[in-house]
Amino acid sequence: MAEITELSKLGEFGLIERLNPKQNPVNPSTILGNGDDCAAMSYGNKSVLVSTDCLVEGIHFDMAYTPLKHLGYKAAVVNFSDIFACNGKPTQLLVTLAVSSKYSVQALDELYSGLHLACEKYGVDLVGGDTASSNAGMFLSLTVLGECNKDTIVQRKGAKEHDLLCVSGDLGAAYAGLLVLQREKVTFLANPQSQPDLSDYQYVVERQLKPEARMDIIQWFSDNSVLPTSMIDISDGLASEVLHICKHSNVGCEIYLDKLPVDYETIKTLEEFDIVPDTGALNGGEDYELLFTINQNDYEKVRNNKNITVIGHITDISLGKKLVTPQNTTIDIKAQGWNHYKDHHP
């Protein structure tokens, strides 16, 4: 009898690699397949980008603290982020919704008001989808299409030794916001009369419930003639994403802990939960910032952008993937962010 392998043994990324092994494309129009934030197809002078994502109630979102309008907005934005991660522009969105009878028509109106708001802000057309019934809860599947010039698509591979590692915005805020919301849920369940006070956590809660994709960074690349050598969006945590870039580019890296950009409110919030801010920044996930590498020749351009931080550099693969502490000691980078199918129980 063949041995049965539990999904938790492979984890999310191991399962993806097993189900989607590297294959040579049959159609000449296929440029990028499995392994990047988007698939890419070539049609004329433009490349068409496609990405899909699913959100499952109880796994990706908790209705105890997720307003439906925010959920719709976030569901769209995290898909747009995948297109930006390939240096493209999102153009169309399709939404498939499976929902149980516990949701009213008015509730779904709220969900779609968030979807439409995101599409309006990012210049994307919501062009269709499908609806179905569900035995329990809500399931959302979104597919986004985008476009990019053939010669400006950026992949996870392409990072070279001596390239600079850069990140947009700040890190760890979405994770801090999730911790606050989960704590408030526990408090509410213990005392349904309690009212949450989130006045001290507005930034981190917003980063969790209503993230934004970095369209501004992609526009800045174009305006300043900067083409990253590799790029990925930060959905599963900085550590996980930098390991993806290193794996696909066949390189090593050094990241300086004291260079990680973390907002003051994030630091305060993480410390309330006895979490070292660096740990939250490295492993928190759902920031939807961009992690990218650039040639050193572009450093002078990047250093003047307050929304971009140089956090390290690419090394030869033989030197490994390292974190450098302020004391100048090195630690191996390990991804500890969320991984579907992994056993998350103690």
User: Is residue 329 packed enough to be buried (19+ CB in 10 Å), middle (13-18) or exposed (0-12)?
Assistant: exposed
Our count of domains for the chain comes to 2
Position 171 scores a pLDDT of 98
Position 31 scores a pLDDT of 65
Among 117-121, 254-258, 334-338, the range scoring the smallest mean pLDDT is: 334-338
14 assigned to some structural domain: no
pLDDT tens-digit series, residues 235-244: 999 999 999 9
Percentage of the chain exceeding pLDDT 90: 76
Position 34 scores a pLDDT of 58
Query: Do 290 and 208 belong to one domain?
Result: yes
Query: Do 95 and 124 belong to one domain?
Result: yes
342 assigned to some structural domain: no
22 assigned to some structural domain: no
244 assigned to some structural domain: yes
Query: Do 131 and 188 belong to one domain?
Result: no
343 assigned to some structural domain: no
Q: Are 227 and 221 in contact (CB under 8 A)?
A: yes
Among 162-176, 191-205, 317-331, the range scoring the smallest mean pLDDT is: 191-205
Query: Do 328 and 207 belong to one domain?
Result: yes
Query: Do 171 and 316 belong to one domain?
Result: yes
Q: Is the pLDDT of residue 35 over 60?
A: no
Residues 6+ apart with CB under 8 A from 135: 100
148 assigned to some structural domain: yes
Query: Do 279 and 229 belong to one domain?
Result: yes
Q: Where are the alpha helices (DSSP H) in 50-91?
A: 68-84
What CATH number is given to the structural domain containing 99? 3.30.1330.10
Query: Do 47 and 68 belong to one domain?
Result: yes
Query: Do 147 and 187 belong to one domain?
Result: no
Query: Do 123 and 178 belong to one domain?
Result: no
Position 343 scores a pLDDT of 46
Tokens 């990012």 map to which residue? Answer: 122
Q: Is the pLDDT of residue 36 over 60?
A: no
Tell me phi and psi for residue 166, to 5 degrees.
Answer: -130, 155
What CATH number is given to the structural domain containing 284? 3.90.650.10
Domain boundary among 126, 152, 178: 152
11 assigned to some structural domain: no
Nearest to residue 153, comparing CAs of 32, 313, 308? 32
Query: Do 300 and 173 belong to one domain?
Result: yes
Determine the distance from the C-alpha atom of residue 119 to the mean position of all C-alpha atoms in its chain, rounded to a whole number. Answer: 18
Give me the mean pLDDT over the 42-58 stretch: 86
Query: Do 304 and 245 belong to one domain?
Result: yes
Distance CA 112, CA 96 (A): 12
Query: Do 296 and 189 belong to one domain?
Result: yes
Higher model confidence: residue 123 or residue 16? 123
Q: Residue 83 is part of which domain span?
A: 30-152
pLDDT tens-digit series, residues 212-263: 999 999 999 999 999 999 999 999 999 999 999 999 999 999 999 999 999 9
